[in-house]
Amino acid sequence: MLKKLCVIASVSLCSAAFAADCSFDLKGTDKMTYTDAKGAAVPKIVVPASCKTFKINLGHVGKMPVTGMGHNVVITKSGDVAGVATDGAKNKKTDYVKPNDPRVIAHSKMIGGGQSTSVEFPVAKIKGGGYKFFCSFPAHSGRMIGDLVVQ
Ligand code: CO
């Protein structure tokens, strides 16, 4: 639909339309899950290759405090998830992310019910594929995790 419109619309209108797709509204719940704005599961987030940067907006739609049901968004290679989550669990004061961890592409702060945050990163950094987004609150990465797919 959008591509069809782009054929007949002006170039500037087209880039404006595509620029609007360079973000995703992710929700975190009291049930230790990520959902989309409609409450559906989010096994993957598609990142348009045409985007220079991509932003994930995280809103905690639950009521539990950050100390009991904290959520964030951390981006790493798939193979680094376990290590980053394990080391992150020891770093409560820094949003459960080890400071200056070179395996972390980007991460948001940790939030509780009713709060929101976001994380933005250059698409070039994940272009090779094989990257995940996950929550690094202790024991959350098993359920709160998905693929970042550039296409
Ligand atoms: Co969480």
* Mean pLDDT score of the chain: 91
Distance, in Å, from the CA atom of 69 to the CA atom of 137, rounded to the nearest integer, reads 8
In CATH, what number is assigned to the domain containing residue 91? Answer: 2.60.40.420
Number of domains present in the structure of the chain: 1
The predicted-structure confidence for 110-126, as pLDDT tens digits, reads as follows: 999 999 999 999 999 99
Decide which of 5 and 58 is more confident.
58
Which pLDDT does position 57 carry in this prediction? 98
Between the CA of 21 and the centroid of ligand 1 the distance, in Å, is 25
Between the CA of 9 and the centroid of ligand 1 the distance, in Å, is 42
Between the CA of 113 and the centroid of ligand 1 the distance, in Å, is 11
Task: Give the residue numbers spanning the domain of 92.
Answer: 2-150
Structure tokens at 54: 């991509």
Which residue is listed with tokens 């669990």? 89
Above 70 in pLDDT, residue 72?
yes
Above 60 in pLDDT, residue 6?
no
Which pLDDT does position 1 carry in this prediction? 43
Average pLDDT over residues 74-102: 98
Q: How many CA atoms lie within 13 A of 134 on its CB side?
A: 29
Which residue is listed with tokens 């994940």? 126
132 DSSP β-pair partners:
76, 147
Q: Please tell me whether the overall predicted TM-score, pTM, comes out greater than 0.85 for this model.
A: yes
Above 60 in pLDDT, residue 91?
yes
